[in-house]
Structure 1
């Protein structure tokens, strides 16, 4: 199975309520909460495109786009 490669990591800030679930489930600590208590991707180079953040977000505020192989 080919390794997935991140193309885009999009966070809809208007939808984010700042619960921090995405931060807690990210295995590579890519996400953090900013000063407005909104999720932000701070280490995109570490993202393995597992989509745990998008799958766990109760507000559907995160979308992970991977490159097609």
Structure 2
């Protein structure tokens, strides 16, 4: 089953991955703040992830890894 892994050290919470996800299963985690002061992206429904890699391709900081 595909899923994404977001590296909090690189994610700056820009939201491009949220906008690019065709299944709308990525959100910025408002409950967490990274060491750099950002709300990182998080996968909210792993079962609906298709592994399309749209989020990883849109990420300007290469903070997302897609596992298939």
Smaller-chain TM-score bracket: 0.7 to 0.9
1:33 aligns with 2:28: yes
Moved more, 30-39 or 52-61: 30-39
* Matching of residue 16 in structure 1 with residue 16 in structure 2: no
Mapped partners of 1:65, 1:51: distance in 2 = 9
Instruction: Report the Cα distance in structure 2 between the residues aligned to 1:9 and 1:25, rounded to whole angstroms.
Output: 14
Q: Which has the larger radius of gyration?
A: 1
TM-score between the two structures when normalised by the length of structure 1 = 0.82
Q: What are structure 2's unaligned runs of at least 5 residues?
A: 34-38
Structure 1 or 2: more strand by fraction: 1
With 31-40 and 16-25 compared, the bigger mean Cα shift is at 31-40
Alignment RMSD = 1.1
Asked whether 1:50 is paired with 2:52, we answer yes
Which runs of no fewer than 5 residues in structure 1 stay unpaired?
Answer: none
| Runs of 4+ more than 4 Å apart | none
